[in-house]
Amino acid sequence: MLIKSPNPLHARESEVTDRDTWLSRRRFLGKAARGAGLALAASSGGAGALLAGCEPAAVTARHSEGQLRLGDIEANKRYLLPDTITEKAAATTYNNFYEMGVLKSDPRENAHLLKTTPWSVRVHGLVDKPANYQLEDFIAPQQLEERIYRLRCVEAWSMVIPWVGFPMADLIGRAQPTSKARFVKFTTLLDPSMLPGQRTPVLDWPYVEALELKEALHPLTLLTVGMYGEILPNQNGAPLRLVVPWKYGYKSIKSIVDIEFTDRRPVPSWTRAAPNEYPFYSNVNPSVNHPRWSQARERRIINIPRGLDAIGALLEPKIETLMFNGYPEVAELYRGMDMTRLS
Ligand code: MTE
């Protein structure tokens, strides 16, 4: 990233909470989405969509205006973590979303400019079933679930976030890529009237990211529509965001409007801007440093810092960064490949 100075946030050393305590804080909810009659439809209020599941049980998420609602979402227990979950207030106020500005506080401040209804998503390229979906049709067939993932930014901070979404592999199953497809390219909305950062050529807009098809098919790769049991806030990439937890955060592209299957390796925006700093694969790897800073450790952000804690620039990253961000099961994707080139 174009960081001129280190981040102002502080990490806590008390990173690990005991699993039972954590579990008792969580509520495991009834079946979501499809089975429970999920419907995602434009709201009559015009400022949002209604994502309505079965009758609210333990948690029903609502948009602040009350126009968005996630139904009951079941946590996928396979992806529970012992880590302390980052507070929502921190995850929604300390953001990277350059289309909304380059400061960490800009996305929150400019979030209201982005209108996510109506929203369409084009799925095309080397697929048997291309389609131009309205968001509600895109999501309706999917079984939503909650997954808690670590998010490791290349800037050496990290968070732990409960996402709501569905496996990218499910969408790939719907799109039916042809045998020639090898990569999946994702593109963010291009609209400077709603994304004022696009009026400045910080990056070559629109923001583009890409995965190898086999990476996109990996069960960890998630298309998300929510976090913390609620519809994604705009600053976090509403209404549709990719999350690839073993890669640096910039691969997790926000506010997606286009998904293309291709046989040619796309050039992601950050790779185009600085290929030696942000290579295509960008797998989290503590032993491969960014040219300008170490990737061995990270500052875990749990809550909004106060007082001196806010001067994160002066604080050393405290936690060891884990290979593949602690998701070793993806190593099989890269067997035989030179890991120092893949980071
Ligand atoms: N997606 C778009 N379209 N634009 C961006 O600037 N920033 C990336 C990623 N996705 C970015 C983006 C970076 S660098 C990170 S670390 C994460 O979003 C940050 O996600 P968060 O703000 O939800 O923590």
Task: Give the model's pLDDT for residue 120.
Answer: 97
Best residue among 7, 189, 243, 254 to mutate for probing ligand 1, ranked by most atoms within 8 Å of CB: 254
What separation in Å is there between the alpha carbon of 78 and the centre of ligand 1?
Answer: 25
Per-residue pLDDT of the chain (343 residues; tens, 9 = 90+): 654 333 322 223 233 333 333 233 333 222 333 332 223 222 222 222 222 222 222 233 333 333 345 767 889 999 999 999 999 999 999 999 999 999 999 999 999 999 999 999 999 999 999 999 999 999 999 999 999 999 999 999 999 999 999 999 999 999 999 999 999 999 999 999 999 999 999 999 999 999 999 999 999 999 999 999 999 999 999 999 999 999 999 999 999 999 999 999 999 999 999 999 999 999 999 999 999 999 999 999 998 866 555 555 456 668 999 999 999 999 999 999 988 766 6
- Say if strands 61-62 and 69-70 run parallel, antiparallel, or are unpaired: antiparallel
Give CA angle at 173 (149, 226), nearest 5°: 35
Q: Please tell me whether the peptide bond between 305 and the residue prior to it is cis, using omega within 30 degrees of 0.
A: no
Question: What's the rounded Cα separation, in Å, for the pair 100 and 105?
Answer: 9
> What pLDDT sits at residue 339?
81
Phi, psi dihedral angles at 177 (to 5 degrees): -60, 150
Give the separation between CA 196 and CA 101, rounded to whole angstroms: 7
Ligand 1 atom showing the smallest separation from residue 235 Cα? 22
Q: How far apart are CA 321 and CA 82, in angstroms?
A: 15
Which of 94, 95, 97 gets mutated to test ligand 1 (max ligand atoms within 8 A of its CB)?
97
**φ and ψ of 210, to 5 deg:** -155, 155
Task: Give residue 322's pLDDT.
Answer: 98
For the CA atoms of 79, 332, 153, 163, the dihedral, rounded to the nearest 10 degrees, stands at -30
Give the C-alpha separation, 278 to 296, whole Å.
16
The beta-strand segments (E) located in the chain are: 39-42, 49-52, 61-62, 69-70, 74-75, 120-125, 131-134, 145-152, 157-167, 183-188, 208-212, 222-227, 230-231, 241-243, 256-262, 297-300, 319-320
Looking at residue 304, its pLDDT comes to 80
Name the pTM for this structure: 0.83
Please report the atom of ligand 1 found closest to the CA of residue 206: 3
Domains in the chain, please, with CATH? 8-341 (3.90.420.10)
Q: Report the distance separating Cα 294 and Cα 170, nearest Å.
A: 36
Rounded distance from Cα 55 to ligand 1 centre (Å): 33
What residues flank ligand 1, with Cβ below 6 Å? 1, 95-99, 151, 153, 188, 207, 236, 249-250, 252-255
Distance 317 CA to ligand 1 centre (A): 20
Instruction: Name the closest-CA residue to atom 9, ligand 1.
Output: 250
Burial 164-192 (b: 16+ CB within 10 A, else e): bbbbbeebbeebebeeebebbbbbbbebe
* Cα–Cα distances in angstroms (integers) from residue 243 to residues 47, 167, 230, 250, 253, in the given order: 25, 10, 16, 10, 7
Q: How far apart are CA 203 and CA 85, in angstroms?
A: 31
